[in-house]
């Protein structure tokens, strides 16, 4: 299918190490003039759900500045566009939890907010785990790591206590994969 939108002009609105924001003057599919904002992410989003031999998983909790609230989530972060997403997932899991996994499965690829951004996400299942020390970044100094039964994490999703989109998707996907 061909693109029904026509870009009349574009300008940069904002740029930092993580995002680039553009404003576009457009002609919409019906022929009307309009404006469109686009957020380009300079990293891919990565989320990792872990399962051990006893069906436990790990969540990380941290204060989410944009929401002004605490959030329990699966380990997640950003992977540079030029680096293999699995390698970035391995780094992120070790950084946040100290866990190294010997078996990895990519379980989902999604766009997180395709009406305004191009942010692409890769979700992984990590199994056959070994444990060590985490290596938190400065922005994660308040992070807490929580080991809990996978069923409890699934209940938290179903009860609305986990609201992070990557976490919700990954937990529901693994529940479906495992027949839970």
What residue ranges in 112-166 does DSSP mark as E strands?
120-131, 144-149
Q: What tens digit of pLDDT does each residue of 86-118 get?
A: 999 999 999 999 999 999 999 999 999 999 999
Paired tokens of 4? 């029904």
> Residue 107: how many CA atoms within 13 Å on its side-chain side?
26
What angle (nearest 5°) sits at the alpha carbon of residue 34, between those of residues 28 and 37?
100
- Collect all residues with Cβ–Cβ distance below 8 Å to 45 and sequence separation of at least 6: 76, 77, 78, 79, 112, 119, 120, 121, 122, 166
Query: Per residue in 38-71, pLDDT tens?
Result: 999 999 999 999 999 999 999 999 999 999 999 9
Closest CA to 124 of 93, 148, 94: 93
DSSP three-state, residue 170:
helix
The class of domain 43-177 in CATH terms is: alpha beta
Q: What is the pLDDT of residues 129-150, one digit of tens each?
A: 999 988 877 877 788 999 999 9
- Enumerate the domain spans of the chain: 6-41, 43-177
Percent of the chain with pLDDT over 90: 91
The pTM score is 0.92
Instruction: Please tell me the predicted confidence (pLDDT) of residue 136.
Output: 79
pLDDT of residue 158: 98
Q: What is the pLDDT of residue 120?
A: 96
Q: Where do the DSSP E strands lie in 4-68?
A: 6-15, 19-27, 33-41, 43-50, 56-64
For 170, the token pair is 């990954």
Q: Is residue 175 predicted with pLDDT exceeding 80? A: yes
Q: State how far the alpha carbon of 11 is from the alpha carbons of 24, 33, 38, 118, 139, in Å.
A: 7, 16, 10, 17, 31
């Amino acid at each position: 299918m061909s693109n029904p939108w026509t870009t009349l002009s574009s300008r940069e609105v904002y740029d930092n190490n993580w995002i680039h924001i553009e404003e576009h003057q457009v002609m919409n599919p019906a022929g009307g003039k309009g404006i469109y904002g686009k957020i380009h992410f300079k990293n891919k989003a990565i989320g990792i759900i872990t399962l051990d031999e006893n069906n436990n998983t790990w969540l990380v909790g941290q204060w989410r500045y944009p929401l002004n609230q605490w959030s329990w989530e699966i380990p997640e972060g950003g992977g540079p566009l030029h680096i293999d997403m699995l390698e970035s997932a391995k780094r992120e899991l070790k950084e946040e939890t100290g866990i190294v996994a010997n078996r990895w499965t990519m379980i989902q690829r999604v766009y997180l907010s395709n009406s305004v951004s191009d942010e692409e996400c890769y979700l992984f299942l990590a199994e056959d785990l070994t444990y060590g020390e985490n290596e938190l970044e400065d922005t994660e100094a308040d992070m807490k790591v929580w080991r809990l039964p996978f069923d409890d994490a699934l209940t938290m999703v179903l009860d609305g206590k986990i609201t992070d989109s990557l976490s919700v998707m990954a937990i529901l996907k693994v529940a479906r994969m495992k027949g839970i």
